[in-house]
Amino acid sequence: MSLLSEFREFAARGNVVDLAVGVIIGASFGKIVTSLVDQVVMPPIGLLLGRVDFSKLEWVLVPEDPATEAVEKVAIQYGAFINTLIQFVIVAFVVFLMVKMVNKLRREQPAEPEAPAAPTPTEALLAEIRDELKARS
């Protein structure tokens, strides 16, 4: 099997295509959540806390020196970290809801009918006798 045909067979499998669709939708969903947190959720929270812009909150370890270009400001940006934590909580909650929905759908599917029970020894013997009588006729 050539490399190209083997790759085509691999890429055509349903799981690979489903995974690709999931990654693309996940990336788009991540951007939506980022926008939601940065532009919808955090501004009211910042307003309630005294007009604080969370994305700009930081602890400056080494201040920027405008006289020299060699030393840049070194800071711990905990506000951006808070935004990222909120984004994670939202994504984790949505994934939880999706998994819960899929599990509920799986439980609601009807059970497959059971295979008929094997014949009892008496029934098997009677079937053999019947088959033997048919063969003699």
- Model pLDDT, residue 32: 87
* Contact yes or no for 77/58 (Cβ under 8 A): yes
* Contact yes or no for 71/63 (Cβ under 8 A): no
pLDDT above 80 for 10: no
The rounded distance, in Å, linking the Cα atoms of 125 and 127 is 5
Banded model confidence at residue 130, pLDDT cuts 50, 70, 90 = very high
Domain 3-111, CATH number (from 3.30.420.110, 1.10.1200.120, 3.40.50.12780, 3.20.20.80): 1.10.1200.120
Average pLDDT over residues 22-27: 86
pTM of the model: 0.55
